[in-house]
Chain A
Amino acid sequence: MIKKFDKKDEESGSGSNPFQHLEKSAVLQEARIFNETPINPRRCLHILTKIIYLLNQGEHFGTTEATEAFFAMTRLFQSNDQTLRRMCYLTIKEMANISEDVIIVTSSLTKDMTGKEDVYRGPAIRALCRITDTTMLQAIERYMKQAIVDKVPSVSSSALVSSLHMVKMSYDVVKRWVNEAQEAASSDNIMVQYHALGLLYHLRKNDRLAVTKMLNKFTKSGLKSPFAYCMLIRIASKLLDETEGGHDSPLFDFIESCLRNKNEMVVYEAASAIVHMPNCTARELAPAVSVLQLFCSSPKAALRYAAVRTLNKVAMKHPSAVTACNLDLENLITDSNRSIATLAITTLLKTGSESSVDRLMKQISSFVSEISDEFKVVVVQAISALCQKYPRKHSVMMNFLSNMLRDDGGFEYKRAIVDCIISIIEENPESKETGLAHLCEFIEDCEHTVLATKILHLLGKEGPRTPQPSKYIRFIFNRVVLESEAVRAAAVSALAKFGAQNDDLLPSVLVLMQRCMMDSDDEVRDRATFYMNVLQQKQKALNAAYIFNGLSVSIPGLEKSLHQYTLEPSEKPFDMKTVPLATTPITEQKTEIAPVATSKLPEKLAPSRQDIYQEQLASIPEFQGLGPLFKSSEPVQLTEAETEYVVRCVKHTFARHMVFQFDCTNTLNDQLLQKVIVQMEPSEAYEVIHYIPAASLPYSQPGSCYTLVRLPDDDPTAVSCTFSCTMKYLVRDCDPNTGEPDDDGYDDEYVLEDLEVTVADHIQKVLKPNFGAAWEEVGDEFEKEETFALASVRTLDEAVGNIISFLGMQPCERSDKVPENKNSHVLFLAGVFRGGHDVLVRARLALADGVTMQVTVRSSEETVVDVILASVG
C-alpha cells in the first residue's frame, strides 16, 4: 500500500527528477544493504544505479568511501540477477580509478568471461581489461586470445576493442595476438570485422610493408562493414600521402571505387579523402565533387552539412571545380540548419560571380546572428577574400561588416572583423572615411584593449589626413575619459597627431592635452606632457620627427647602446646615430643563418637578423672600433648550387668600412680545408685591409671567413664597386669514413663569382608612416631633381619594383602598389644613408611608350643626394 501511495505522489509531481536530491552520504549509507543476506537484487540494483548516477553527475568520491562501496559491491557477485551483475561491471569500470585494490574482482570477472552466460562474457572482458595492468594481462592472455576468436560477436568485439585500449600500455603483449586478430578480421559480423581491422592497423602502423599487404588483402577480398571501409579508406589515403607518389596507384583506384559503394557513409568518406589529398588535379576531384553534389539534396541534414562543408574546402583551392554545384548550393541557402546555409553561402561567395555578391550578402545577414562564432569567423574570412577579388564591392562589405561588429561575439570574431575592415581601408582609399566611422563607433563600446589601441593608432595615422579630421577628436577623447591606461595612452598619441597635422585643430588639441596631463597614470601623463611640449613649438620638423614618424632604431640595439653608455660615463651626450637601425620586418628570419655562437640566443625579445650579426661581428677583435653595424645585405650566392664548395656572402656596411662575411661549406667528404680566406680584388678605390680566415672547414660543417675593406674616404660618391673573389685554402685529404686527415696538405684555390657592391648596400630602409611630414622635415635645402627615361620597362608595376630593389629603400604610404588602369604613379621612398643621413626620394612615373621617371631627392647631406642621382642615371 505504501508503495502505491508513493507512486501516485511521484506521478502528481511529474517532471521532477527522482535522482535530483540524492545525497552521496545517504546513498553510501544505503549501500550497506549489499552485505545483507539474502541479497535483494532490486534494491541493490537501484542503489548501484544511484551511485553511477552520482558519478555521472561529476560528484567527487573520496578514496576511502569509494573503496568501501566497491568492496561491498563485490559481494553482489553472489547474486545471479543478470541486470544486477551487469551493473556491477559498470560500477567496476566507473570506480576503477577512484577505488583502491580493484583487482580483487579479477577472478570473478575471469570466471564470467569464460563462463556459459554469453550476456556476461563481453561486458566482463571490458571490465576486466579496465582494471588490468601489463603483468596481470599476461596471466589472462590465454583467455583473451580465445575471446578474440570467439564465435559470439559481442565477445569477440569486446576482446578486440579492449585489446586496442591495452595497446597503449602493453604493446608487447597485445602484439602477440596478431594472428587471432587476423582470424577475427574474416568474421561475418560487421563490427567484429571493423574492430579487428582497427586493432591490426594499430599493431602494424609503423611497418609500412605490413600495412600495404593488409590493405591489399582487404581491398581485394572486400568487406561487409561500412565502418571497416571507412577505416580502410583512411589507411589508404595516409599511405598515399606518405609515399608522395602520383595518384595512379591501386590505392587511389580503391578510394575512387568506394565512391560507388552502397553506403553513404563510405561514399562520403571516400569523397572527403580525395578532396583532402594534396595536389589533387581537377580531373581527379570531379567524381568526388559530383557525389558531394548529390548529397547536397539529401533529406538528412548531417549529410547535407558534410557535403557542403567539404565542398567549401574544395572551393578554397579549386573554385572552378565547384561551380557545377552552384545550383544545388543555391538551394541550401534557405536551409533551416544555419550552419549548412552559412557554408553554402560562403562557398558560393568563392565560386560565384561578382553580380551575385549583393544578393548573397543580403541572405547571410538575415541570419548571421543565429550562427555560432566559428561560422561567423568563416563568414568574415570569406568576405575578406571577396574584397580582394572584387574591390569594387567594398561598400556592400563594409556595411555588412559594420553590422556584424555591432552584434555580440568573442574576441577572435571581433578581431577578424576589425582586421578585415582595416585591410579594406588600406586597399580602397575611397572606403577610408566610412571604415573609420564604423571603427569609431566600435571603440565607443569595446571591451578588448588590443583592438581599441589598434584602432586608435589607425585613427591617429589616417584621421588627420581626411577632409574632416575634427569629427574623430570626440571619439578619441571619449576614450581618454572612459578607458583603461593602455587605451588612454594610445588615445593621447592619436590626439597629438591631429594637433600636429591640422593647425586649426591645434588650440583645441592643446586644451585636451592639458587635461590629459592630470591623468592618474604615469604613462598617459608622460605622453601628454611630451606631446604638449612638442606641439607648442609649432615646428614642422619636430612634429615629423617626434609625433608622426617616431624612432626607427632597433629596440634591442637601443637597449644595448644605452647600457653601454651608462657603463662608460662620458661628458658627451648619448648619440642616437650610434644605435643600429631597426630592419624593416620584411626580411624574414632565416633558420640557417648564424652558424656559430648563436645557440644561446633565444631571448625575451627575438633579436632581428641584424642584431644577431652585430653580436657576431662585435665578438671578433679585428672588427672592434668599426662603430655600429649599419646594414647587412641578404646573402649572395657566389657558387652554383651543386659544386664542391658552396660559398655565399653577406655584406655588412659600417660607417667607413665594409665587412664581407663568407659562409662556406665543404661538400667533399675526402677533404679537410684549413686557413680558408676569400681574396678580393676591388675595381675601384676600395682598400682591403684585413683577412680573417676560417681555421678549418671539415666536410659539411659550415664555417665563416671575413674580409675587411675600407671605403674610399676622398670620394664619397664611389658607392658601387665590383670585387673579383678567389677562395684560398690548405687542403688535407682525408679518409671519407673516419674523417682522419693526412699529415701533409697542399695549397689550392677556387675561383668564385664576382661580388657587386651597389648603392643599396649604403642605404638602410626606414619606414616613415607619414611621408609628407618627413618630406617637410628634411626640407628642400639639398633638393635635386632629374628626369630619366626607362625605355626597357613596359609597366608601372615593373618600374616601381626595379627602383625599390635598386635603391634598397622603403616604400612609404603604400606607394609600392600601383592602382590598376593608371598611367601615372608617385612612389615615395625613405631610407637612411650610411653615416646617419635621412634620405627621401619622390619618383613620379608616367607610362607612355616605356616609362618616364622624374626623381626628386631630399636629404640632410648634399653628397647623399648626388650619390643617389648619380647611381640612378
Chain B
Amino acid sequence: MDSPILEPSLYTVKAVLILDNDGDRLYAKYYDDTYPTVKEQKAFEKNIFNKTHRTDSEIALLEGLTVVYKSNIDLFFYVIGSSHENELMLMAVLNCLFDSLSQMLRKNVERRALLENMEGLFLAVDEIVDGGVILESDPQQVVHRVALRGDDVPLTEQTVTQTGYHHPSSGHD
C-alpha cells in the first residue's frame, strides 16, 4: 500500500468488466498484462464477484487493485485500476459507461437487453477507453459517437431471431 510518487501517465484503466448475476463474464477488456492469461482473468473475475456481489458499496481494494463497481438488476459493472490511481477518475469511467448504456438501452439496463445490443456495448467501451487511456468521459458524446442508427425498430428485433438458432442451411431467406 505504500505508494511512490505516481509516474504521470494517461494510462489509467487496467480493465473494464461486466459480469452477470452468476458471476459469468458478459464482457471483459484487459488493457495491460496484470492478468495475462484467460485462466488468470477468470479467476480474478470470480474473486471480484464473490467479494462484491452481495454488497452495494461501490469501491473495494482487491488483489492490490482498486475496483470501482456498480450493479443494476442482474448486471455488475467493474472498472479496475492501480491502487495508486485516483479513485474518482476510475469512477468517472464507470459512470460514463453506465450512463451511456443506460441511454442506449433506454434505461433498460439489464442482462437481456444488453445481450441484444452487444455491438452497442462493444462500440461504447471502444469510445470510452482506448488501450487503457480514458478517451471520453461524457456519456452524451459516447452515445453520439456510437451512433447506432436511431430507427425505431432497434437492430435487436431482427438479430435476436437469428441468434443461436441460426443454421447455415437456413441462411437464404
**Any B CB within 8 A of the CB of A501:** no
Instruction: Give A318 Cβ to nearest chain B Cβ, in Å.
Output: 15
**Any A CB within 8 A of the CB of B106:** no
Stretch from A51-59, A351-359, A395-403 that touches the partner: A51-59
Closest to A267 in B: B88
Question: Could you say which residues of chain B place their CB within 8 Å of the CB of A3?
Answer: 158, 161
Instruction: Give A762 Cβ to nearest chain B Cβ, in Å.
Output: 44
Bound complex: CA of A817 vs CA of B5, how far in Å? Answer: 38
Contact status B60-A372, CB under 8 Å? yes
Instruction: Give A4 Cβ to nearest chain B Cβ, in Å.
Output: 8
1/0 contact string of A21-36 vs chain B (CB within 8 Å): 1100010011011000
Interface of B is mostly: mixed
Contact status B135-A161, CB under 8 Å? yes
Instruction: Give A558 Cβ to nearest chain B Cβ, in Å.
Output: 39
Question: Could you say which residues of chain B place their CB within 8 Å of the CB of A19?
Answer: 115, 118, 163-164
**Any B CB within 8 A of the CB of A626:** no
Instruction: Give A43 Cβ to nearest chain B Cβ, in Å.
Output: 7
B-side interface residues, number (CB < 8 Å): 72
Instruction: Give A97 Cβ to nearest chain B Cβ, in Å.
Output: 13
Decide: A301 near B57, CB < 8 A? Known: A6-B161, A126-B130. Answer: yes
Contact status A58-B158, CB under 8 Å? no
**Any B CB within 8 A of the CB of A613:** no
Contact status A198-B161, CB under 8 Å? no
**Any A CB within 8 A of the CB of B51:** yes
Tell me which residues from 109 to 128 in chain B have a Cβ below 8 Å from any Cβ of chain A.
111-112, 115-116, 118-119, 122-123, 126-127
Q: Within the complex, which residue of B27, B59, B68, B126 is in contact with A123, where a contact is CB–CB below 8 Å?
A: B126
1/0 contact string of A193-221 vs chain B (CB within 8 Å): 01100110110010000000000000000
Contact status B59-A305, CB under 8 Å? yes
**Any B CB within 8 A of the CB of A384:** no
1/0 contact string of B138-150 vs chain A (CB within 8 Å): 0001000111110
Decide: A154 near B131, CB < 8 A? Known: A301-B59, A305-B87. Answer: no
**Any A CB within 8 A of the CB of B103:** no
Q: Within the complex, which residue of B112, B118, B136 is in contact with A191, where a contact is CB–CB below 8 Å?
A: B136
Question: Could you say which residues of chain A place their CB within 8 Å of the CB of B41?
Answer: 58
Bound complex: CA of A29 vs CA of B171, how far in Å? Answer: 11
**Any B CB within 8 A of the CB of A99:** no
Question: Could you say which residues of chain B place their CB within 8 Å of the CB of A374?
Answer: 1, 61-64
Q: Within the complex, which residue of A15, A20, A83 is in contact with B149, where a contact is CB–CB below 8 Å?
A: A83
**Any A CB within 8 A of the CB of B155:** yes
1/0 contact string of A136-164 vs chain B (CB within 8 Å): 00000000000000000110011001101
1/0 contact string of A461-494 vs chain B (CB within 8 Å): 0000000000000000000000000000000000
Instruction: Give B58 Cβ to nearest chain A Cβ, in Å.
Output: 4
**Any B CB within 8 A of the CB of A518:** no
Bound complex: CA of A238 vs CA of B7, how far in Å? Answer: 7
Bound complex: CA of A269 vs CA of B85, how far in Å? Answer: 9
Q: Within the complex, which residue of A161, A269, A370 is in contact with B131, where a contact is CB–CB below 8 Å?
A: A161
**Any B CB within 8 A of the CB of A49:** yes
Instruction: Give A634 Cβ to nearest chain B Cβ, in Å.
Output: 31
Question: Could you say which residues of chain B place their CB within 8 Å of the CB of A126?
Answer: 126, 130
Closest to B120 in A: A83
Interface of A is mostly: helix
Interface size grouping (class) on chain A = 35 or more
Bound complex: CA of A793 vs CA of B115, how far in Å? Answer: 81
**Any A CB within 8 A of the CB of B25:** yes
Closest to B163 in A: A18
Question: Could you say which residues of chain A place their CB within 8 Å of the CB of B4?
Answer: 276
Instruction: Give A772 Cβ to nearest chain B Cβ, in Å.
Output: 42
Bound complex: CA of A9 vs CA of B161, how far in Å? Answer: 9
Question: Could you say which residues of chain A place their CB within 8 Å of the CB of B56?
Answer: 336
Question: Could you say which residues of chain A place their CB within 8 Å of the CB of B133?
Answer: 161, 164-165, 195, 198
Instruction: Give A117 Cβ to nearest chain B Cβ, in Å.
Output: 10
Contact status B88-A45, CB under 8 Å? no
**Any A CB within 8 A of the CB of B80:** no
Question: Could you say which residues of chain B place their CB within 8 Å of the CB of A6?
Answer: 160-161, 165
Tell me which residues from 9 to 64 in chain B have a Cβ below 8 Å from any Cβ of chain A.
9-10, 20, 25, 27-29, 38, 41-42, 51, 55-64
Q: Within the complex, which residue of B5, B57, B64, B112 is in contact with A14, where a contact is CB–CB below 8 Å?
A: B112
Decide: A230 near B86, CB < 8 A? Known: A6-B165, A158-B130, A195-B10. Answer: yes
Contact status A191-B5, CB under 8 Å? no
Question: Could you say which residues of chain B place their CB within 8 Å of the CB of A83?
Answer: 119, 123, 147-149, 155
**Any B CB within 8 A of the CB of A822:** no
Contact status B87-A306, CB under 8 Å? yes
Bound complex: CA of A42 vs CA of B162, how far in Å? Answer: 10
Contact status A372-B160, CB under 8 Å? no
Contact status B168-A198, CB under 8 Å? no
1/0 contact string of A558-579 vs chain B (CB within 8 Å): 0000000000000000000000
Decide: A164 near B10, CB < 8 A? Known: A6-B161, A33-B171, A303-B88. Answer: yes
Instruction: Give A185 Cβ to nearest chain B Cβ, in Å.
Output: 13
Bound complex: CA of A43 vs CA of B119, how far in Å? Answer: 13
Contact status A227-B134, CB under 8 Å? yes
Contact status A56-B116, CB under 8 Å? no
Question: Could you say which residues of chain A place their CB within 8 Å of the CB of B60?
Answer: 337, 339, 372
Question: Could you say which residues of chain B place their CB within 8 Å of the CB of A370?
Answer: 55
Question: Could you say which residues of chain A place their CB within 8 Å of the CB of B58?
Answer: 300-302, 305, 337
Closest to B90 in A: A302
Contact status A18-B126, CB under 8 Å? no
Contact status B5-A90, CB under 8 Å? no
The winner among A18, A56, A272 for most chain B CB atoms within 10 A is A18
Contact status A18-B5, CB under 8 Å? no
Q: Within the complex, which residue of B8, B27, B160, B165 is in contact with A231, where a contact is CB–CB below 8 Å?
A: B8
Decide: A306 near B88, CB < 8 A? Known: A53-B118, A372-B51. Answer: yes
Bound complex: CA of A276 vs CA of B86, how far in Å? Answer: 13
Tell me which residues from 263 to 301 in chain A have a Cβ below 8 Å from any Cβ of chain B.
264-265, 268-269, 272, 276-277, 300-301
Bound complex: CA of A549 vs CA of B42, how far in Å? Answer: 51
Question: Could you say which residues of chain B place their CB within 8 Å of the CB of A811?
Answer: none
**Any A CB within 8 A of the CB of B137:** yes
1/0 contact string of B63-98 vs chain A (CB within 8 Å): 110001000000000000000001111111000000
Contact status B136-A21, CB under 8 Å? no
Bound complex: CA of A372 vs CA of B115, how far in Å? Answer: 31
Instruction: Give A234 Cβ to nearest chain B Cβ, in Å.
Output: 4
Instruction: Give A402 Cβ to nearest chain B Cβ, in Å.
Output: 25
Contact status B55-A337, CB under 8 Å? yes
Contact status A238-B59, CB under 8 Å? no
Closest to A225 in B: B137
Instruction: Give A210 Cβ to nearest chain B Cβ, in Å.
Output: 14
Instruction: Give A645 Cβ to nearest chain B Cβ, in Å.
Output: 40
A–B complex contacts, Cβ < 8 Å, 15 sampled:
A9-B165, A18-B164, A30-B166, A33-B171, A83-B155, A93-B126, A161-B10, A165-B130, A165-B131, A198-B9, A199-B10, A238-B7, A264-B88, A302-B90, A305-B58
Identify the 4 closest CB pairs spanning chains A and B, nearest first. A58-B38, A337-B57, A198-B10, A18-B163
Apart from A18-B115, A234-B9, A265-B86: 6 A-B pairs, beta carbons within 8 A: A30-B171, A58-B42, A122-B145, A161-B130, A301-B57, A305-B87
A interface residues, Cβ below 8 angstroms from B:
2-3, 6-7, 9-10, 14-15, 17-22, 26, 29-30, 32-33, 42-43, 45-46, 48-49, 52-53, 56-58, 82-83, 86-87, 90, 93, 119, 122-123, 126, 153-154, 157-158, 161-162, 164-165, 191, 194-195, 198-199, 201-202, 205, 227, 230-231, 234-235, 237-238, 241, 264-265, 268-269, 272, 276-277, 300-303, 305-306, 313, 336-340, 370, 372, 374-375, 378
